[in-house]
Amino acid sequence: MTFERTRGRTPRSRSWAPREGVRIIVLLGFFLVLAPALARAQVSDSLVLKWTAPSDPGEGAVSRYDVRFATAPITSANFDSAVVIPSQAPGAPGTVEHAVVRGFSPGHSYWFAIRSADLAGNWSALSNVVRWDYPLAAAPPAAPSGLAAGMPSGGGLPLHWTPGAEPGLAGYHVWRTLDPAAAWSSLGGGLVHDTAFVDTDLPAGVSRLWYAVSAVDLVGNESARSAALAIVLRSPNVSLPPAVELAQNTPNPFVISTSIRYALPKRAVVSLVVYSVRGERVATLAQGVQEPGYHVAVLDAGRLADGVYFYRLEVEGVVRLRKVILLR
């Protein structure tokens, strides 16, 4: 009994009669032919099961098949509780039969087995049991996007980002550095299972930090780091801004992401929103109460189309508006 992933010699079938004289067909050579691998196996795929039609001594072809699969090893005792796979009517002895099975999810294991019945309704013993491990793709997930930060406070620096589109993600790594050209350090002591993180261990005496996030799938493949987010920390020697300020984004035009800096003279409710030329809201970069000081938000190109956009800062009735150009 063999398990062949692609091509191979079709095993022969064999029949025998037990002592009671009831004819039971035993299937040999049940094997799998896998569907082509996906470029990014984060979705369900299908496979093809193949076996050779056995013969029923004295009668010729068998009458029907019972093909099943389960997510645990199949035995004679639990075969009836496995999931039924629809199959075609048996062909002539020696015919290579097949059944197409769909709806499998990557990162799981599946077991398959089959029985056949003769014309009198007698069922064969269980065939060889085949196991198939559906792996996740070797390709890493896409880098996270939309990394942004709130204002540093006594509780630390809050970060958040857009969740990855792949369903097979295990979590994220949050990275920090004092110099984007130097080494990065991973924060949190392991994977972050949410799309938010608070850096509670801000280094003393530092005026600027850079952050990035990477995604990790269920088999350990890690994405590239996201675009770096620069954070300017408030220093005791730096005075607060005298008024609400909204700087021109840099770079502009931009290709992947651009930084938008703004300043608050006091603690206030802030709204920083990006609009298309039609007036449609396409991104919200800041929303809620923020502390006084200098802030940085990042606009990620993501799924935005090339063109002109406007970002609008509103702070307790004070409105500032600037234009940004996305050009890839």
Q: Return the CATH number at 90.
A: 2.60.40.10
Tell me the residue type at 272.
Answer: L
Does 1 fall in a domain? no
Considering the domain architecture, whether residues 115 and 180 belong to the same structural domain is answered as no
Q: How many structural domains are present in the chain?
A: 3
Does 53 fall in a domain? yes
Q: By residue range, what is the domain housing residue 197? A: 140-234
Considering the domain architecture, whether residues 110 and 169 belong to the same structural domain is answered as no
**How confident is the model over 162-177, as pLDDT tens digits?**
877 776 788 999 999 9
Does 3 fall in a domain? no
Considering the domain architecture, whether residues 121 and 154 belong to the same structural domain is answered as no
Q: Rounded to two decimals, what is the model's pTM? A: 0.40
Of the candidates 245, 243, 275, 247, the one whose C-alpha atom is nearest the C-alpha of residue 260 is 247
Can you tell me the distance from the alpha carbon of 297 to that of 307, in angstroms, rounded to the nearest whole number? 20
Does 6 fall in a domain? no
Considering the domain architecture, whether residues 160 and 98 belong to the same structural domain is answered as no
User: What does the DSSP assignment read for 72-121?
Assistant: S---TTTGGGSEEE--PPP-STT-EEEEEEEEE-TTEEEEEEEEEE-TTS
pLDDT at 6: 32
By CB neighbour count within 10 A (0-12 exposed, 13-18 middle, 19+ buried), where does 35 fall? middle
Does 5 fall in a domain? no
Of the candidates 324, 309, 178, the one whose C-alpha atom is nearest the C-alpha of residue 251 is 324
Considering the domain architecture, whether residues 305 and 269 belong to the same structural domain is answered as yes
Considering the domain architecture, whether residues 119 and 146 belong to the same structural domain is answered as no
Considering the domain architecture, whether residues 206 and 221 belong to the same structural domain is answered as yes
Considering the domain architecture, whether residues 146 and 184 belong to the same structural domain is answered as yes
**How confident is the model over 177-191, as pLDDT tens digits?**
988 878 899 998 889
Query: In the 8-state DSSP scheme, what is residue 39?
Result: S
Considering the domain architecture, whether residues 199 and 219 belong to the same structural domain is answered as yes
Considering the domain architecture, whether residues 19 and 113 belong to the same structural domain is answered as yes
Residue stretches of the chain with pLDDT short of 50: 1-44
Q: Which of 77, 102, 134 is the last residue of a domain?
A: 134
Does 2 fall in a domain? no
Contacts of 91 (CB under 8 A, 6+ apart): 53, 61, 97
Q: Can you read off the two tokens belonging to residue 274?
A: 């990006």
CATH label of the domain that carries residue 261: 2.60.40.1930
Tell me the residue type at 24.
Answer: I
Of the candidates 107, 134, 223, 215, the one whose C-alpha atom is nearest the C-alpha of residue 170 is 215
Establish how many alpha carbons lie within 13 A of residue 217's alpha carbon, considering only the half-sphere containing its beta carbon.
23
Q: Which of 134, 155, 187 is the last residue of a domain?
A: 134
Considering the domain architecture, whether residues 161 and 110 belong to the same structural domain is answered as no
Tell me the residue type at 314.
Answer: E
Of the candidates 238, 228, 237, the one whose C-alpha atom is nearest the C-alpha of residue 294 is 238
pLDDT at 152: 66
Contact 282, 309 (CB under 8 A): yes
Considering the domain architecture, whether residues 112 and 74 belong to the same structural domain is answered as yes
Q: Which of 134, 156, 176 is the last residue of a domain?
A: 134
**Residue whose entry in the numeric block shows the structure tokens 């880098």:** 143
pLDDT at 58: 57
pLDDT at 235: 55
245 φ, ψ (degrees, to nearest 5): -130, 140
